[in-house]
């Protein structure tokens, strides 16, 4: 039996999720879409020749008995409201990151899910489904490099819009590293500090760029992430894990190698299409787990909450320039 999806927010990533659910994810169909831009959504559906009900509000979509699971791909501040309604209706939810824009709203989502008594929410931290990160994780977990000591990571974007601000380097961009690094190294953050090296001339008044975010984990590892969102040259994600017995590197994004004009070259991704396959895999995992009536240990609402609390500490550290504590309470039994 296929899972009937309702997608809230048919913007940049929402449209790609609609396409993947209709065309590539086995056992899924899209029966409804809610977007405040109803005319634009209908235009998109016409172009793609998809037959899907269109609603103006998430409330109508969630109430539709022909919707089993809800994909939340609207802008961040709208996520919490939609997710809380969907949980109340006992529907599964795939939420794009962030789960919610405040730790307080994330807590409300945890409370609502625990009240329902079953895991309903998966958060779109797709890097956990990326082949390269999975290889890195398997190497770490097989003890290939022994005790872990440090991580050096980079999140580079070619460019960002004028509306992008210093804190968005954390809440929009670093949020992926915040999730994937604690998963990779099997440790939790203790504190964080942010520093600003010499700045690019392409920064705006409201954007400091680049930034260096330095986490210390509970066991004393140092994880350093360089966030640089105006590199011009590409979307470049790097991660190097240093252990007592060796060093592991995240495999490079790969394209065919071109020999031409006395040069050998390979491509660098232009944006989050770097993770196209991972989005397919994360949705397939979501569908498979719904069909088995159980959400396995994939990015949960708890992981969304931890990311929000950690992001808050990072944003605080951006202005205080001091070491800020990452204060995560004890993980509830429900999420263990
Ligand atoms: P976007 O292009 O602005 O799309 C958001 C869409 O949702 C727009 O069509 C917007 O309509 C609509 N919308 C906003 N509030 C709504 C509401 N309350 N109900 C229904 N529709 C609503 O943004 P995006 O880039 O697709 O990002 C969407 C989400 O995905 C964000 O949370 C973002 O952080 C996340 N994201 C994740 C990744 C990843 O790598 N996992 C990558 C990109 C984005 P209007 O345009 O009319 O406002």
Q: From first to last of its 336 residues, what are the pLDDT tens digits of the chain?
A: 899 999 999 999 999 999 999 999 999 999 999 999 999 999 999 999 999 999 999 999 999 999 999 999 999 999 999 999 999 999 999 999 999 999 999 999 999 999 999 999 999 999 999 999 999 999 999 999 999 999 999 999 999 999 999 999 999 999 999 999 999 999 999 999 999 999 999 878 899 999 999 999 999 999 999 999 999 999 999 999 999 999 999 999 989 999 999 999 999 999 988 999 999 999 999 999 999 877 667 899 999 999 999 999 999 999 999 999 999 999 999 998
Q: Kindly report the protein residue whose alpha carbon is nearest to atom 12 of ligand 1.
A: 9
Which ligand 1 atom minimizes the distance to the CA of 172? 34
Ligand 1 close to Cβ of residue 273 (< 6 A): no
Q: Which residues contact 41 (CB under 8 A, 6 or more apart)?
A: 10, 33, 35, 54
End-to-end CA distance of the chain: 29
Q: Kindly report the protein residue whose alpha carbon is nearest to atom 40 of ligand 1.
A: 272
Q: Kindly report the protein residue whose alpha carbon is nearest to atom 32 of ligand 1.
A: 76
Which ligand 1 atom minimizes the distance to the CA of 279? 41
Ligand 1 close to Cβ of residue 40 (< 6 A): no
Burial of 257 (0-12, 13-18, 19+ CB in 10 A): exposed
The crossing angle, in degrees rounded to 10, of helices 131-141 and 175-185 is: 30
Ligand 1 close to Cβ of residue 6 (< 6 A): no
Ligand 1 close to Cβ of residue 304 (< 6 A): no
Ligand 1 close to Cβ of residue 37 (< 6 A): yes
Q: Which residues contact 31 (CB under 8 A, 6 or more apart)?
A: 4, 5, 6, 52, 53, 64, 66, 67
Q: Kindly report the protein residue whose alpha carbon is nearest to atom 8 of ligand 1.
A: 11
Distance 78 CA to ligand 1 centre (A): 9
Ligand 1 close to Cβ of residue 10 (< 6 A): yes
Q: Kindly report the protein residue whose alpha carbon is nearest to atom 1 of ligand 1.
A: 11
So what's the pLDDT on residue 205?
87
Nearest to 182 by CA among 245, 239, 118, 248: 239
Nearest to 144 by CA among 251, 222, 244: 244
Distance 272 CA to ligand 1 centre (A): 14
So what's the pLDDT on residue 278?
96
Ligand 1 close to Cβ of residue 101 (< 6 A): no
Q: Kindly report the protein residue whose alpha carbon is nearest to atom 44 of ligand 1.
A: 13
pTM of the shown model: 0.95
Ligand 1 close to Cβ of residue 8 (< 6 A): yes
Nearest to 314 by CA among 191, 138, 133: 191
Widest CA span in the chain: 64
Please give the Cα distance from 106 to 119 (Å, whole number): 14
Ligand 1 close to Cβ of residue 78 (< 6 A): yes
So what's the pLDDT on residue 204?
81
**Ligand 1: which of 59, 75, 303 to mutate, most ligand atoms within 8 Å of CB?**
75
């Amino acid at each position: 039996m296929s899972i009937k999806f309702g997608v809230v927010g048919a913007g940049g990533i929402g449209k790609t999720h609609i396409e993947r659910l209709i065309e590539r994810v086995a056992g899924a169909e899209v029966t409804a879409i809610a977007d405040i831009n109803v005319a634009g959504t209908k235009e998109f559906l016409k172009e793609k020749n998809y037959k899907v009900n269109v609603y103006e509000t998430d409330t109508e979509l969630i109430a539709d008995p022909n919707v089993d699971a809800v994909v939340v791909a609207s802008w961040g501040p709208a996520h919490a409201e939609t997710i809380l309604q969907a949980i109340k209706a006992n529907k599964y939810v795939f939420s794009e990151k962030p789960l919610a824009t405040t730790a307080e709203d994330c807590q409300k989502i945890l409370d609502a899910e625990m009240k329902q008594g079953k895991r309903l929410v998966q958060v779109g931290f797709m890097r956990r489904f990326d082949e390269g990160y999975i290889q890195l994780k398997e190497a770490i977990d097989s003890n290939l490099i022994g005790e872990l000591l440090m991580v050096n990571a980079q999140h580079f974007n070619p460019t960002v819009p004028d509306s992008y601000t210093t804190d968005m380097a954390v809440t929009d961009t670093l949020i992926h590293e915040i999730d994937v690094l604690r998963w990779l190294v099997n440790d939790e953050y203790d504190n964080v500090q942010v520093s600003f090296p010499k700045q690019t001339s392409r920064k705006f008044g409201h954007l400091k760029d680049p930034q260096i975010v330095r986490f210390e984990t509970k066991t004393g590892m140092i994880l350093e992430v360089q966030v640089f969102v105006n590199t011009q040259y590409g979307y470049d994600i790097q991660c190097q894990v240093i252990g007592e017995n060796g060093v592991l590197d995240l495999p490079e994004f790969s394209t065919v190698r071109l020999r031409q004009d006395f040069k050998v070259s390979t491509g660098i991704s232009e944006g989050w299409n770097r993770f196209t396959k991972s989005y397919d895999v994360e949705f397939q995992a979501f569908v498979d787990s719904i069909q088995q009536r159980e959400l396995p240990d994939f990015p949960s609402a708890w992981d969304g909450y931890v990311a929000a609390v950690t992001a808050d500490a990072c944003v605080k550290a951006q202005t205080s320039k001091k070491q800020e504590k990452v204060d995560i309470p004890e993980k509830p039994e429900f999420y263990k």
